[in-house]
Amino acid sequence: MPVELVIYTKPGCPYCAAAKEDLAEKGIQFTEHDVTTDPAIKEEAIRLAGQAAVPVIVKGGEVSIGFGGS
């Protein structure tokens, strides 16, 4: 069973767009949560990352903040 990948993003974030494009190019399925649509989602991303930053990528319980390419 594949590990679920979740990415927290916001519109206009170039790093979010790059991360999503990279995942799509690699054929990796993910669930996207836009932090601007719901305060609870924003708080969850901040709790996971320990700071207010996007993208926040969560895979198998491991949290990555930002995107610097593959």
CATH of the domain at 32: 3.40.30.10
Split into its structural domains, the chain has a count of 1
Per residue in 13-59, pLDDT (tens digit) is 999 999 999 999 999 999 999 999 999 999 999 999 999 999 999 99
What amino acid occupies position 21? Answer: E
- Looking up tokens 């519109």 gives 11
- pTM of the shown model: 0.91
Identify the domain containing residue 60 by its residue range: 8-65
Asked, for residue 70, whether it belongs to a domain, the answer is: no
54 and 8 Cβ atoms separated by less than 8 Å: yes
pLDDT confidence bin for 2, thresholds 50/70/90:
low
Asked, for residue 57, whether it belongs to a domain, the answer is: yes
